[in-house]
């Protein structure tokens, strides 16, 4: 399905402007609570507006001037079921995971490889989990770093607001490394490749995807964090939550999920 893409030309100032504008509005917070089966109200008529954060291949990234990826295709299924097109807003990940994207009515859903956590669940609701992930350590092949325990006195790069940053912070004192934050995944992985940091931590799938294109890097350690990605939405929007879950379940049952998975990961999903 075709989709429109609204890109922030300069991410942080654009989001700050949006917050300022929203602060002047009479109402923020996203509307009335709904339940499964209630009418679904969209923030923009005729569009299912999705907040995301790129680059994060293969889940969401730019290709040919358009944002594409695994998450995009899944949300397209929801949009198709609703009889509308998906419209994507690219914004800082902190604005999504903090819940501000919903408090300011910027989007109907957020699909950005977002791990479902108790903290995030306090400021937004989630669909059922649709993808399993763990954390992983990305290094240069010539670094000599095999595990996070080898990072004593070195610098570990993290992406701001992610579960990777959370894991790195929890184990910082144990291993004696310094942490350097990056705005997005692309900056983090480039920092590893160019030697600005000794290693970078993030979700295993995106690091393995980077290694395919950058053979001078490698993943040397994975951490069993047992994460699940969910499609996020405004707290209390039970009608949308039920619809997203309904579409995900249908896609997993009729083969469309498997087809999309194989398109972006080059293999079929593992069966449990």
Q: What is the pLDDT along the chain (272 residues), one digit of tens a residue?
A: 444 444 333 333 333 333 333 333 333 445 789 999 999 999 999 999 999 999 999 999 999 999 999 999 999 999 999 999 999 999 999 999 999 999 999 999 999 999 999 999 999 999 999 999 999 999 999 999 999 999 999 999 999 999 999 999 999 999 999 999 999 999 999 999 999 999 999 999 999 999 999 999 999 999 999 999 999 999 999 999 999 999 999 999 999 999 999 999 999 998 76
Peptide bond into 238 cis (omega under 30): no
What is the model's pLDDT at position 179?
98
Beta-ladder partners of 180: 157
What is the model's pLDDT at position 174?
96
Do residues 3 and 88 make contact, with C-beta atoms less than 8 angstroms apart?
yes
Homologous superfamily of 134-226:
Periplasmic binding protein-like II (3.40.190.10)
What is the model's pLDDT at position 30?
58
Domain ranges of the chain: 47-132+227-265, 134-226
47-132+227-265 and 134-226, same CATH topology: yes
Q: What residues contact 76, with CB distance under 8 A and at least 6 apart?
A: 1, 3, 86
Peptide bond into 216 cis (omega under 30): no
Q: What residues contact 183, with CB distance under 8 A and at least 6 apart?
A: 11, 12, 92, 159, 160
Do residues 225 and 167 make contact, with C-beta atoms less than 8 angstroms apart?
yes
What is the model's pLDDT at position 220?
98
Q: Domain 47-132+227-265: which topology?
A: D-Maltodextrin-Binding Protein; domain 2 (3.40.190)
């Amino acid at each position: 399905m075709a989709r429109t893409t609204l890109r922030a030309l300069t991410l942080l100032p654009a989001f700050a402007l949006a917050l300022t504008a929203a602060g002047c509005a009479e109402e923020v917070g996203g509307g009335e609570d709904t339940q499964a089966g209630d009418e679904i109200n969209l923030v923009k008529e005729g569009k299912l507006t999705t907040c995301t954060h790129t680059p994060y291949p293969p889940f969401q990234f730019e290709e040919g001037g358009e944002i594409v990826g695994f998450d995009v295709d899944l949300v397209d299924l929801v949009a198709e079921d609703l009889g509308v097109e998906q419209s994507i807003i690219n914004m800082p990940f902190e604005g999504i995971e903090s819940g501000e994207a919903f408090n300011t009515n910027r989007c109907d859903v957020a699909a950005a490889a977002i791990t479902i956590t108790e903290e995030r669940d306090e400021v937004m609701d989630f669909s059922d989990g649709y993808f399993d992930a763990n954390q992983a350590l990305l290094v240069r092949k010539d670094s000599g770093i095999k595990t996070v325990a080898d990072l004593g006195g070195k610098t570990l790069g993290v992406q701001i607001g992610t579960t990777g940053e959370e894991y790195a912070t929890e184990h910082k004192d144990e291993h004696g490394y310094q942490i350097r934050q990056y705005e997005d995944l692309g900056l983090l992985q480039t920092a590893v490749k160019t030697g600005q940091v000794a290693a970078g931590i993030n979700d295993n799938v995106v690091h393995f995807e980077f290694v395919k294109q950058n053979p001078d890097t490698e993943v040397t350690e994975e951490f069993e964090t047992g994460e699940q990605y969910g499609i996020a939405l405004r707290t209390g929007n039970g009608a949308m939550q039920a619809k997203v879950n309904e579409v995900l379940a249908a896609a997993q049952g009729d083969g469309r999920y498997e087809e999309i998975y194989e398109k972006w990961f080059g293999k079929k999903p593992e069966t449990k």
